[in-house]
Structures are given as C-alpha cells and as structure tokens.
C-alpha cells in the first residue's frame, strides 16, 4: 500500500501531522508493507527567493491577525508540537518560499534519502535559529547531512529548472485530488485525510485502506512467458 503526503516545509501543521501519522504507522501491524511518498505543495507558490519575513509579520499581514493573536497561535502550535515530542521555536522564525527545498526533496527521493532530508528541513525550520530561506549554503549543509552528494545537490540548486517539473506535477495532482491545503494524506489513491489529525484517525485510515486493497486479477491463461527457470519454448 502507498501513502502519499502532500506538505510544505513552511507549514507547521505538516510538521505536527507528520509526527502523528508516523506514530500511527509505527504501531500498524503491516508497517513493512506501506510505502510512504512525500509530495510537494507550496503555500506561497511563486514567492521570490529573497522575499523573506518574520513569521509573526507574515501572519499579521496575510491573515489580518493582531500581533497578540499571532503570538497566541504560535504558542498553541508550540504546545501541539511539544505534545508530539517535537522542538518548536515560537518566536524568531522566518517565512519564505520553499520551491528550492521541494526541488531538493525530489532529487533526494531519487537517491533514496527523501525522508532524511525532509526531517532535517523540518527541524531546521521549526527548531533551529538559522533560517533555511534564501540561503543555498544552509540547504547544502542539510542535503549533505541527509547523505546526499554535496556537488550534485549544489548543481540542482544552481539550475532553476532541475526538478521544477516534478514539483509542479505534484501540485497539479494535489489540485486534481481536491486538496484544499496541507497536510494532505492519500491512501492508495482511495482515501484522503486532511490536516494534522490525531493518530487514531490515521490508524483508522491505514486499517481501512489496507483491508480494502483489491487483489491483482490476472488474465491470459497459459500463454508463453519467462520465469526464474527460463523461458518456455512452445512445442511444434
């Protein structure tokens, strides 16, 4: 079974939701039969690379919150993260575009290091002092720490078209599937779960999707084929 997770590194509920999903997945009896694929979703598509601002300023400007409301929201998110064992800086974080991070994540997926890079990006963004936005050197450090070749990662960042099509295709699919926002979890392209739901919701979704998998049906009878013992040669 495949679970696809659309998310953005700038999304705090994606950070919390991922932890809750992984808690459910860790206790799932068929864990080894579940493939998890992370998909791209930009909260601010098209945002310029150098358009970086404090999170609290972004919240007051974009959503019309007061400063007090924005701070209360961050405090709530910090408490939600702490409940999942996640570090979270409620003050002093930046917000910016994530397109380059998503391109790197597609590159990392090709190399089998996507999960490692995503975890490092999340921790760097939500828990560490140094910003991840607009800083290629910072992204290269994280890519290297995730086990990627530094030179190859640098080449990806230097080419704005590298993996750009893959990021856009993920976002097109999200819209096609009806994603209103992120995180968005899709189980075998059959069930969708929106938001950072409690772990019990993910447990129910995993159980239901696993139980309703459709067994492979084959047709064709005894036609000639190749197998471990070689290829059958029709007798004339």
The per-residue pLDDT for range 34-75, each reduced to its tens digit, is 999 999 999 999 899 999 999 999 999 999 999 999 999 999
Q: What is the mean pLDDT of residues 153-181?
A: 95
Q: Give the closest residue to 19 by CA, choosing from 127, 165, 94, 134.
A: 127
- Over the chain, what is the mean pLDDT? 91
Positive or negative: CA dihedral 182, 186, 191, 197: negative
The predicted structure's pLDDT at residue 180: 80
Spatial separation of the C-alpha atoms in residues 50 and 175, rounded to whole Å: 27
> How would you classify residue 95: left for phi > 0, otherwise alpha for psi between -120 and 50, otherwise beta?
beta
Give residue-wise pLDDT tens across range 125-149.
Answer: 999 999 999 999 999 999 999 999 9
**235 pLDDT tier (thresholds 50, 70, 90):** low
What pLDDT, on the 0 to 100 scale, is given for residue 136?
Answer: 96
Contacts of 194 (CB under 8 A, 6+ apart): 179, 180, 181, 183, 184, 185
pLDDT digits over 168-220, tens only?
Answer: 999 999 999 998 889 999 999 999 999 999 999 999 999 999 998 765 444 44
Q: Please state whether beta strands 94-95 and 53-54 pair in parallel, antiparallel, or not at all (unpaired).
A: antiparallel
Q: Which residue has the higher pLDDT, 217 or 115?
A: 115
DSSP letter for 220, please.
-
Share of the chain above pLDDT 90, in %: 87
């Amino acid at each position: 079974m495949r679970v696809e997770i659309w998310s953005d590194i700038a999304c705090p509920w994606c950070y919390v939701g991922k932890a809750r999903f992984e808690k459910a997945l860790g206790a799932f009896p068929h864990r080894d039969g579940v493939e998890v694929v992370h998909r791209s979703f930009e909260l601010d598509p098209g945002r310029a690379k150098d358009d970086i601002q404090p999170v609290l300023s972004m919240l007051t400007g974009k959503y019309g919150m007061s400063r007090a409301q924005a701070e209360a929201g961050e405090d709530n998110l910090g408490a939600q993260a702490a409940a999942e064992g996640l570090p979270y800086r409620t003050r002093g974080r930046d917000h910016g575009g994530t397109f380059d991070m998503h391109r790197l994540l597609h590159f990392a997926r090709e190399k089998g290091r996507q999960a490692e890079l995503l975890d490092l990006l999340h921790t760097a963004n939500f828990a560490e002092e140094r910003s991840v936005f607009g800083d290629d050197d910072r992204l290269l450090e994280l890519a290297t720490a995730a086990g990627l070749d530094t030179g190859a990662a640098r080449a990806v960042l230097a080419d704005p078209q590298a993996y750009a099509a893959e990021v856009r295709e993920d976002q097109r699919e999200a819209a096609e599937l009806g994603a209103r926002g992120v995180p968005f979890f899709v189980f075998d392209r059959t069930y969708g779960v929106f938001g950072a739901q409690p772990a019990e919701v993910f447990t129910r979704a995993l159980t239901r999707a696993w139980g309703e998998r459709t067994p492979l049906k084959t047709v064709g009878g005894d036609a000639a084929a190749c197998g471990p013992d070689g290829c059958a040669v029709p007798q004339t």
